[in-house]
A and B are shown apart, each in its own frame.
Chain A
Amino acid sequence: MRKPVIIGVGLTPVGEHWKLGLRDLAVEALLNAMEDAGVDKVDSLYVGNMASGSFVEQENLGALIADWAGLGNIPAVKVEGACASGGAAVQEGVKAVMSGLEDVVAVVGVEKMTDAWPSDATRYLAYAADAEWELFHGVSFVALNALAMRLYMKEYGYTEEDLALFAVNAHANGAKNPYAMFKKVIKVETVMRSPYIADPLKLFDASPIADGAAAVIITTEEKAKEFVDKAKMIEVAGMGRAIDTINLANRKDLLLLKAAKVAAERAYKMAGVGVDNIDFFEVHDAFTVMAALSLESIGAAERGKGAMLAKEGQIAVDGDYPIQTLGGLKARGHPVGATGVYQTVEAVWQLRGEAPNQVPDAEVGLTQNIGGTGSNITVTILRRV
């Protein structure tokens, strides 16, 4: 099969873009990526988005964005996998290139969340859960993660302060990212002083509701030579994707992200690498506990030891397991369907050596994007060509 490489990236800052709509954000990121890649047309477009119908009453994003970006009569569709929509869209784009059906593919992830009233936004996010057996009972997405957080703390003896370290690390890194929503360093006390939104989960354990769009241009290694130098080519070396029960209560092991474990195994196998070869990890820290569970599920830590990596300082950019190097979901922000593409853009920056918070000599990076309460997960491994 053909070797897929990313040759261009583009994005908007994450934030409350009250003056910009979904199409404005998506088109801006997409045109930036095309300019970065030096391409003026693409064969197809994949749009990662979770809930545009609910948030802004707009579906059919393939047509909307391709039309407004002036891409002509290309095939274009939306890819949906809850908060993992962006990661899934990137993988669909890669598959199209690998298959030989399409040579130059654009992927854009976009979400416009701040036009909705907060309690409605809370409802729309809960649509990623099981509507009949979870949302029906008035559960919020935060609450489902709080149930896991309480169990994780009990099972392995961690405190709320221990988990707060993930937020502290994310903010330390996000402070250096000009595209991050929160460019502010925080302390453990900052997290502890923030109000409970679903005990024991506090406001600063959670990523923010935000707007944003990010895009990448994917082609083959052969074709890439027409557009960019080798230094700008980043290979998509491995990828995996898996689902788990949509309803948290139906999970046999409530603290194992089985879908992430399976997805990571597939990605490692395809890339021919192990966890020890990965120089940095952009994991899905929508909630602090999810950062810990993610590290365990992808093999960076043993079961129950994910939070130890934070306590030992190993998750910092100069540690053995750097995570959230540009702020992660917590500080960069989490425009849900766009997040997986933001992670991809940030991994490309690291591998090109262009990151504002550079991991020294980064050669291989991993992105892990979670949809639902661990029900739909993508893992993608990127490598310098």
Chain B
Amino acid sequence: MGKPMQVARYWRHFKEKYRLIGGKCKSCGQVHFPKRPVCPECGSQEIEEFQFSGKGKVVSWTIIRNPPSGYEYYKPYPIALIELEEGPLVLAQLTDVDPEEIDFGMEVEMVTRKIREFSEDGIILYGYKFRPPLK
């Protein structure tokens, strides 16, 4: 992921990663995450921002035991494909969950969490993770 000086690279995606804002095609109505310049359904370039609810269900998951460098701190950690209630799939870490509890179709909600940090005086990256909804 490169060196921590790449600050601009991370703030470019604040909207998506902090608030789960994706795209909606004005032409065909398809919603996507992340937002794209061209609609993958109809090819239209008229795409507006779309706020996702953050609710979804687990489609598939795995437990990462050999992470890429930079993520050793969390290991082992679960990663899942989550189907948002509006349709699109998103890949994210699951948090606040016992790995044994994870199952197909498990309901989850988006929360903002620390994704990783760079060395002592480096930047800290935040973004979405998903957890079972609080009761």
Contact = CB atoms under 8 A, between A and B. Distances in A.
Given A136-B1, A136-B115, A151-B60, A196 B65 contact: yes
Interface string B81-121: 10000001111110000000000100000000001100000
Interface stretch (A80-88, A142-150, A183-191, A293-301): A142-150
Interface string B20-52: 000000000000101000001000000000000
A134 B62 contact: no
B123 interface: no
Contacts of B79: 137-139, 143, 147
Contacts of A139: 64, 68, 79, 91
B67 interface: yes
Q: Chain B CB within 10 Å — which of A118, A123, A148, A200 has the most?
A: A123
A119 B66 contact: yes
B66 A131 contact: no
B133 to A, nearest CB: 20
Contacts of B104: 154
B59 A140 contact: no
Contact of B91 (A134, A151, A199, A200): A134
Interface stretch (A38-46, A214-222, A243-251, A340-348): A243-251
B81 A248 contact: yes
A318 interface: no
A244 B32 CA distance: 16
Interface residues of A, number: 39
A143 B62 contact: yes
Nearest to B9: A132
A200 B60 CA distance: 11
Contacts of A248: 81, 91
Contacts, number: 107
Given A199-B63, A250-B40, A122 B68 contact: yes
A135 B1 contact: yes
A198 B91 contact: no
B60 A117 contact: no
A137 B32 CA distance: 18
Contacts of B116: 138
A256 interface: no
A138 B66 contact: no
A247 B115 CA distance: 19
Given A138-B115, A150-B61, A254-B60, A120 B91 contact: no
Nearest to A154: B104
A142 B66 contact: yes
Given A136-B125, A138-B74, A138-B115, A150 B60 contact: yes
B110 to A, nearest CB: 13
A198 to B, nearest CB: 4
B61 to A, nearest CB: 7
10 contacts: A119-B69, A135-B1, A137-B79, A137-B127, A140-B64, A142-B66, A143-B64, A148-B60, A154-B60, A250-B89
Give the top 3 A-B pairs by smallest Cβ distance, nearest first. Answer: A123-B68, A138-B71, A146-B62
Given A123-B68, A137-B92, 10 more contacts: A117-B69, A118-B66, A122-B68, A137-B115, A139-B91, A140-B67, A150-B62, A154-B104, A251-B89, A254-B59
